[in-house]
Amino acid sequence: MLSFIFRRLALTAATMLAVSLLVFLLLELNPGSVAVKVLGPYSSEEQRQLWLEANGYLNPLWQRYLEWLGRMVTGDFGESIRFKVPVAEVLWPRLWNTAILAFWTFAVLIPLSLTLGVLAGMREGSRLDRAISITSIITTSIPEFASAVFLSAIFVFGLGILPGTSAMSNGFDPLQLILPVMVLVLYDVGYVTRMTRASMAEVMTAPYIRTAVLKGIPFPRVILRHGLRNALIPPFTVIMLQINWLLSGVVVVEFFFAYKGFGALLLEASLNQDIYLIQACAMVAVFVAVTTQTLADIGYTYLNPRIRLQ
Amino acid sequence: MSDPTKNPIHPALPELAEKARRGRIGRRDFLRTAALLGASAATAHSLLGVALKPGSAMAAETPKFGGNLRVSMNVMDISDPAIFDWSQKGNQARHIIEPLVQIDKDNIARPHLAEKWEASEDLKTWTFHLRKGVKWSNGDDFGADDVIATFRRWLSPETGSSNIGRFAAMTTTTDTGKKDENGKPIKKTSMSEGALEKIDDHTVRFHLNTPDLSLPESMGDYPALITHRRFVEDGANFIKNPIGTGAFELKEFKVGERMVLTKRKGKYWGGDVYLDQITYIDHGDDPAAQIAAFASDQVDTTYETGVEQVAAIKSLPMLDLYETITAQTGIARFKVTEKPFDDRRVRQAIQACIDHDRLRTLLYGEYGAAAEDHHVSPVHPEYAELPKLKQDYAKAKKLLAEAGHAGGLKVRIDCVASPSWEQNACKAIAEMCRPAGIDIEINVMPGGTYWDRWTTTPFGFTNWTHRPLGVQVYNLAYRSGVPWNESSYSNPEFDSLLDVAGTKIDPEARRADMAKLQKILQDDAVFVQSLWRSVFVAANKRVRGLYAHVALEHHYNKVWLA
Amino acid sequence: MSMTEHAAGHLPPPRLIRILRMVGLLRESPVAMIGAGLIVFWIAVAIFAPLLAPFDPNVNLQPFAKPGTPYAAGSGVFWLGTDHLGRDILSRIIWGSQTVLFYGFVATASAYAVGVAMGLAAGYYRGWIDELLSRLGDIILSFPILVLYVVIIATIGASGINIVLAVTFASAPAIMRIVRSLVLEIRERDYVAAAKMRGENAWYIMLVEILPNVRGPLIVDACLRMGYVTITIGVLGFLGLGLPPPDPDWGGMINEARSMALAFPHMTVLPCIAISSLVLGLNLLADGLREISLRD
């Protein structure tokens, strides 16, 4: 087990390295356009030359990459062109905000979808199962931006009971979290529910379950004692992987509700060609995604006795 | 709302005001007429920029003290006022530090920190008399030393301030003797010796190398805010040391999120200030977020409301909408040195396809003013009225055929992705050119990438912001060889006529020259102009004393909350 | 049924049988039928767009007309109203279906072409080819997908081709993984071994022996993936990184009209329904097909 973990971590590090190369090449290949982006379109050729020289852009590519990598690893992400402060100063608070959003999204999503999935899967083909499945498919067909428009129209403009933006300008306001969380949950609940349902349904057909039923153990006990433990293993990994999905989902939701999170930051950076911010956001996003994937792999291996005992 | 019988307005005035807002009659004409008809100056001015609901009361109410004005606007870094490059930054700082001259909402340069000014006959020597009794927030007296220190900093190339171009008449460009990697000589621009002269503690004289009639207007531009004389010694960071002469002080600043200003503790030279606090809230780049914020009463006003949101704003019952016609515009400009646009007939053909008034209606509905392809706006004091351009497809086809494109022409225009009105303008222009056989492909470039090539693209749509004087725009954009001459237009006759116009400080006297200059640009079809944009500012009905400024400046000293 | 029996003329041609069998199979699952119905509906709309759309989708006619308003300056009715530039929404949705289906299909097909090729190679050859392709795939898959799109499009700009490229780049690794695992299952089968002994070359085996036998799960995945791609194109249009004007694109329509949504709901709600129904159709079809294949 330990060697497995070790290998996975090494793989993670290698992946991150390759990703960093990709990000660096994508954004910093052409020093001239970097200078234009940093100094602005009205800067003179003279200013750009001075800046390029002062910041090491006239060095060979591989040298620039290694120096950049060194800075990245120590957390020095450079200075944001748009905000004119060190990237780290803007990035970490925003990431924390997204973490809060993620936390509440999962707090609602996980219980909800696991419950629905178990209910649907334990009696496959029943009316409840049909209803839950159809609803799940429908909700996953509505893109987040569409449901954001709908929910906003209903709760902000129509009923007027929820705030229209979530900028949190007066300190933390839980009301402003409700709509963003709703949109995220609405989109993903269908997927996790169906994964749970499929896993549950499969477990229900296992011989030991049928044996338990035949032995006369009451049905709820069968589920709770025998069924759930194995049924919940795949959903566990699915949920870990939702973090990857979430990092995508928040881009639209944070943009829409003006929530000061990581996704909105990345989008703002891209639309404004703030290279260093884009790089830092991309690297951090990938790091979080890769780490959760590794944890999911390790967790799945650990929890799944079939693999663990090999 | 107050009793209309208290301050009756002549019935002809609202309609005249409407015409003035559209640019059909000159603003000065309207102001003169309004005065003749007995309206007070305050009433006349508020008619020009007032809410678009007819019959709303304009009479004076008693202002109330207190309250927090919440404004939705990008909160940007303002640590160095000399290098401001976005007008939002000017708005953030202007409550704290102030300019010598302020452009008022009717596009007229008015005294602010400078009480009055005179120019010599040759327009090369300007004497500015500074206001007395103004104090900095740290107790120091405001005076000539502050102005001179600030100017000196602007004109020094190391600062990197755009003011070095704005006040180019005070600078000298010398050859440093070094050469860059292409062998071209490296030049250095810096302040000319003796450009700034302190006459006494409250009088500064500027000695220019070339005549500049727009010096006062330049001093009213948003990057020209005066900082304390010890700004540099104290660390050159305005956020750490927000010492100012203005009515507000900096309380809290978080870039990208919010900025809080509170009323100055000491006395303010400009009289009563009603608001206790101003809060700027950053809602990101999404204009729809502002509408949502209005709907849930999270903000009182915003930096700007785009024309596409006007309909939405009007449907929210708690909001007022303020409009002003400006000299802001977008031009679809040709590069006259590149094919196929080097042939004047091609440019004129495209120009002939445009119905300018319909273009205005398509983009701005009932708002804005039709443009005439010469980049001088009805709000410019020296604007000369020319015969209207008409849409003429027969003429367009004939010109195209003469130029050798009888079978049609296919071109591509570069344009930014956002704001959307620019794309819409390109779409509308493309639609209008189609019947003449001209196929315009629209190349949308996201974010800042358009600005990598706005001066080099053969055909591009460029947004030009408001400038108070027509000659300023001509000097910036159409004089041969200047950095922002994106069309590479070079016409010696135009240049010399522009020099002549630049010596006449009275806009009336300039008008005849402007008529000729405008006609030259129009005939040469250097660009197709979309329209003169109105700017809109939406605000909650409880906000009083607000107006839409031509350059979207925030003058909140006399704003109050009902 | 062997080829000789067909040739003898006793039975209808094999291809027709296969199609009938597929339709018959579909009937086993009402879910798949509904899904297929929705998709066929939109394909029909896209194909017959010139006949169905009452107006030109790009011409400015009458701004802000409510649904059901007749065209003041001519004949016809704006059944779904017009937008802020006076364009008929019904026509834009109809013509927009061409854009969405075209780019959705092309992008998915392109991603499949690349992904299947990579997956076949990785699964069949194994060894260093497999290692290399899998690592590359992992790297790209480690990006949260919208992060990847935003970075790519912000760098190379938005256009039809660029979006297809971005989608291909982002989706091929996932497809590769699926194909690869399917190939690993099949490569030990008898008919593959037989072909090898016959001396057929690698690509023949991959394309003729292996690929047809993995098409079941791939078709299901293709439906789902086209749904994701449709949403992605919608999201990119919504964020301002989408297809360029003037052609109607549902995501772009929603974004343009978003701030006016409360005053003129028809401008946003209708494209939302359009895009959701298409994606729903794809999801239902995928689900139904999976049900059917499990039942076999």
Beta bridge partners of residue A169, listed in sequence order: A171
* A244/B contact by beta carbon, under 8 A: no
Out of C58, C240, C262, name the one closest to residue B446 (CB): C240
pLDDT cut 90: percent of chain A above it: 10
Average pLDDT over residues B129-157: 92
Q: How many domains does chain C have?
A: 1
pLDDT given for residue C156 in this prediction: 75
pLDDT given for residue C31 in this prediction: 80
The more confident residue out of B508 and C10 is B508
Helix axis angle, A233-257 to A144-152, nearest 10°: 60
The Cα angle at residue B463 between residues B460 and B464, in degrees rounded to 5: 125
Which secondary structure element, helix H or strand E, spans residue B336, and what is its range?
none
Q: Determine the residue among B72, B423, B426, B434 to mutate to test chain C binding: the one whose Cβ has the most chain C Cβ atoms within 10 Å.
A: B423
Average pLDDT over residues C276-281: 91
List phi, psi (to 5°) of B416.
Answer: -80, 160
Out of C153, C261, C262, name the one closest to residue B446 (CB): C153
| pLDDT at A43 > cutoff 70 | no
For the record, the structure tokens of C40 come out as: 């066929």
* C263/B contact by beta carbon, under 8 A: yes
Select, from the ranges A294-298, C21-25, C109-113, the one with the highest average predicted confidence (pLDDT). C109-113
Taking only the tens place, the pLDDT of each residue in A245-278 is: 888 888 889 988 889 998 889 888 887 778 888 8
Out of C64, C244, C259, name the one closest to residue B442 (CB): C244
pLDDT given for residue B43 in this prediction: 65
pLDDT given for residue B532 in this prediction: 92
Residue pair B280/B302 in contact (Cβ under 8 Å)? The answer is no
pLDDT given for residue A243 in this prediction: 85
Taking only the tens place, the pLDDT of each residue in C142-169 is: 888 888 888 887 777 777 788 888 889 8
Round to whole Å and give the CA distance between A282 and A72.
Answer: 12
Residues B157-160: contacts with CB under 8 Å, at least 24 apart: B157/B188, B157/B189, B157/B190, B159/B80, B159/B82, B159/B83, B160/A47, B160/B82, B160/B83
pLDDT given for residue C5 in this prediction: 44
Nearest residue on chain A to B451, judged by CA atoms? Answer: A41
Round to whole Å and give the CA distance between A259 and A251.
Answer: 10
Q: Picking from A23-27, A110-114, B492-496, C229-233, which range would have the lowest pLDDT averaged per residue?
A: A23-27
pLDDT given for residue B25 in this prediction: 61
Q: Is C279 in contact with A143 (Cβ distance < 8 A)?
A: yes
| pLDDT at C3 > cutoff 50 | no
pLDDT band at B6 (very low <50, low <70, confident <90, very high): very low
| pLDDT at A77 > cutoff 70 | yes
CATH number at residue C237: 1.10.3720.10
* A29/C contact by beta carbon, under 8 A: no
CA distance C194 to chain B (A): 55
pLDDT given for residue B10 in this prediction: 65
Helix axis angle, A2-28 to A31-39, nearest 10°: 80
Nearest residue on chain B to A152, judged by CA atoms? Answer: B292
Does the residue C176 lie in any domain? Answer: yes
Q: Picking from A29-38, A172-181, C49-58, which range would have the lowest pLDDT averaged per residue?
A: A29-38
Q: Is A149 in contact with C268 (Cβ distance < 8 A)?
A: yes
Q: Name every residue whose Cβ is closer than 8 Å to that of residue B160 and which is 6 or more positions away in sequence.
A: A47, B82, B83
DSSP state of B449: G
Residue pair A170/B297 in contact (Cβ under 8 Å)? The answer is no
In chain B, residues 531-550 whose CB comes closer than 8 Å to chain A? none
pLDDT cut 70: percent of chain B above it: 88
Helix axis angle, A45-54 to A31-39, nearest 10°: 110
| pLDDT at C56 > cutoff 50 | yes
pLDDT given for residue B153 in this prediction: 92
Residue with tokens 């002994």: C197
* A169/B contact by beta carbon, under 8 A: yes
Does the residue C16 lie in any domain? Answer: no
Out of C59, C60, C260, name the one closest to residue B312 (CB): C260
Q: Report how far Cα B390 is from the mean position of its chain's Cα atoms.
A: 28
Q: Average pLDDT, whole number, for chain B?
A: 85
Out of C142, C261, C269, name the one closest to residue A19 (CB): C142
CA distance C211 to chain A (A): 27
Chain C residues near residue A290 by CB distance under 8 angstroms? 142
CA distance C126 to chain B (A): 42
Q: Is A257 in contact with B279 (Cβ distance < 8 A)?
A: no
Report the amino acid identity of residue A228. L
Residue pair B66/B192 in contact (Cβ under 8 Å)? The answer is no
Q: Picking from A77-91, B344-358, B366-380, which range would have the lowest pLDDT averaged per residue?
A: A77-91
pLDDT given for residue B419 in this prediction: 75
| pLDDT at B2 > cutoff 60 | no
Round to whole Å and give the CA distance between B135 and B59.
Answer: 33
Q: Is C260 in contact with B417 (Cβ distance < 8 A)?
A: no
The more confident residue out of A1 and C2 is A1
Q: Picking from A205-214, A233-242, B228-237, C14-23, which range would have the lowest pLDDT averaged per residue?
A: C14-23
Residue pair A132/A116 in contact (Cβ under 8 Å)? The answer is yes
pLDDT band at B113 (very low <50, low <70, confident <90, very high): very high
Out of B181, B296, B417, name the one closest to residue A156 (CB): B296
Average pLDDT over residues C85-93: 84
pLDDT given for residue B286 in this prediction: 77
Q: Average pLDDT, whole number, for chain A?
A: 82
Does the residue C78 lie in any domain? Answer: yes
Chain A residues near residue C139 by CB distance under 8 angstroms? 15, 18-19, 22
b/e sequence B312-328, b meaning 16+ C-beta within 10 Å: bbeebeebbbbbbbbbb
Q: Name every residue whose Cβ is closer than 8 Å to that of residue B90 and which is 6 or more positions away in sequence.
A: B84, B222, B223, B225, B553
Q: Is B289 in contact with A49 (Cβ distance < 8 A)?
A: no
Which secondary structure element, helix H or strand E, spans residue B374, and what is its range?
none
Beta bridge partners of residue A275, listed in sequence order: none
pLDDT given for residue B23 in this prediction: 60
**In chain A, what are the domain boundaries?**
2-73, 88-271
| pLDDT at A120 > cutoff 70 | yes
- Three-state helix/strand/coil letters over C175-190: HHHHHHHHHHHHCCCH
| pLDDT at B53 > cutoff 60 | no
pLDDT given for residue C4 in this prediction: 46
| pLDDT at B397 > cutoff 70 | yes
pLDDT given for residue B54 in this prediction: 37
For the record, the structure tokens of B94 come out as: 């202007």
- Please provide the distance, in angstroms rounded to a whole number, between the alpha carbons at the two ends of chain C: 19
Which of left, alpha, beta for B437 (phi over 0: left; psi -120 to 50: alpha)?
left
pLDDT cut 70: percent of chain A above it: 94
| pLDDT at B440 > cutoff 60 | yes
Does the residue C5 lie in any domain? Answer: no
Taking only the tens place, the pLDDT of each residue in B245-286 is: 999 999 999 988 899 999 999 889 988 899 999 999 998 877
Nearest residue on chain C to A159, judged by CA atoms? Answer: C262
Does the residue C237 lie in any domain? Answer: yes
Choose among B471, B396, B468: nearest CA to B436: B396
Report the amino acid identity of residue C244. P
Round to whole Å and give the CA distance between C67 and B24.
Answer: 35
Q: Name every residue whose Cβ is closer than 8 Å to that of residue C30 and which is 6 or more positions away in sequence.
A: C288
| pLDDT at A303 > cutoff 50 | yes
Q: Strand B185-191 and strand B277-281: pairing?
A: unpaired
Out of A47, A160, A167, name the one closest to residue B282 (CB): A167
pLDDT band at B509 (very low <50, low <70, confident <90, very high): confident
CA distance A43 to chain B (A): 9
In chain B, residues 297-326 whose CB comes closer than 8 Å to chain A? 298
| pLDDT at B170 > cutoff 70 | yes
pLDDT band at B100 (very low <50, low <70, confident <90, very high): very high
Chain C residues near residue A137 by CB distance under 8 angstroms? 280, 283-284, 287
| pLDDT at A126 > cutoff 50 | yes
| pLDDT at B537 > cutoff 70 | yes
CATH top class, domain A88-271: mainly alpha
Taking only the tens place, the pLDDT of each residue in B8-44 is: 566 666 766 766 666 656 666 666 666 555 566 556 6
Number of Cβ within 10 Å of residue B135's Cβ equals 15
In chain A, residues 84-113 whose CB comes closer than 8 Å to chain B? 84-85, 90
CA distance C62 to chain B (A): 9
Q: Picking from A180-184, B99-103, B447-451, which range would have the lowest pLDDT averaged per residue?
A: B447-451
Report the amino acid identity of residue B516. K
Q: Picking from B433-437, B466-470, B496-500, C236-240, which range would have the lowest pLDDT averaged per residue?
A: C236-240
**Chains linked to C by 3 or more Cβ pairs within 8 Å:** A, B
| pLDDT at B340 > cutoff 90 | no
**3-state DSSP: chain C helix, strand, coil percent, rounded to 5?**
75, 0, 25
pLDDT given for residue C12 in this prediction: 59
User: Where do the DSSP E strands lie in A159-301?
Assistant: none
Q: Is C151 in contact with A23 (Cβ distance < 8 A)?
A: yes
Q: Is C86 in contact with B417 (Cβ distance < 8 A)?
A: no
Chain B residues near residue A256 by CB distance under 8 angstroms? 286, 288-289
Choose among C43, C100, C51: nearest CA to C234: C100
Nearest residue on chain C to A150, judged by CA atoms? Answer: C269
The more confident residue out of B324 and C214 is B324
Q: Which domain holds residue C250?
A: 26-295
Q: Strand B248-254 and strand C77-78: pairing?
A: unpaired
pLDDT given for residue A286 in this prediction: 86
| pLDDT at B7 > cutoff 50 | no
pLDDT given for residue A292 in this prediction: 83
In chain C, residues 54-93 whose CB comes closer than 8 Å to chain B? 58-60, 63-64, 84-86
* A129/B contact by beta carbon, under 8 A: no
SS3 for B268?
A: coil
CA distance A77 to chain C (A): 17
Round to whole Å and give the CA distance between A84 and B203.
Answer: 36
CA distance C48 to chain A (A): 25
| pLDDT at A78 > cutoff 50 | yes
pLDDT given for residue A272 in this prediction: 77
SS3 for B385?
A: coil
* C23/B contact by beta carbon, under 8 A: no
Number of Cβ within 10 Å of residue A177's Cβ equals 20
Round to whole Å and give the CA distance between B37 and B13.
Answer: 8
| pLDDT at B107 > cutoff 80 | yes
Residue pair B397/B411 in contact (Cβ under 8 Å)? The answer is no
Q: Determine the residue among A270, A279, A286 to mutate to test chain C binding: the one whose Cβ has the most chain C Cβ atoms within 10 Å.
A: A270
Round to whole Å and give the CA distance between A11 and A86.
Answer: 30
Nearest residue on chain C to B317, judged by CA atoms? Answer: C263
Chain A residues near residue B257 by CB distance under 8 angstroms? 167, 169, 260
pLDDT given for residue C7 in this prediction: 46
Report the amino acid identity of residue B546. L
Does the residue C249 lie in any domain? Answer: yes
Residue pair C169/C112 in contact (Cβ under 8 Å)? The answer is no
| pLDDT at A218 > cutoff 70 | yes
Residue with tokens 């494109």: B405
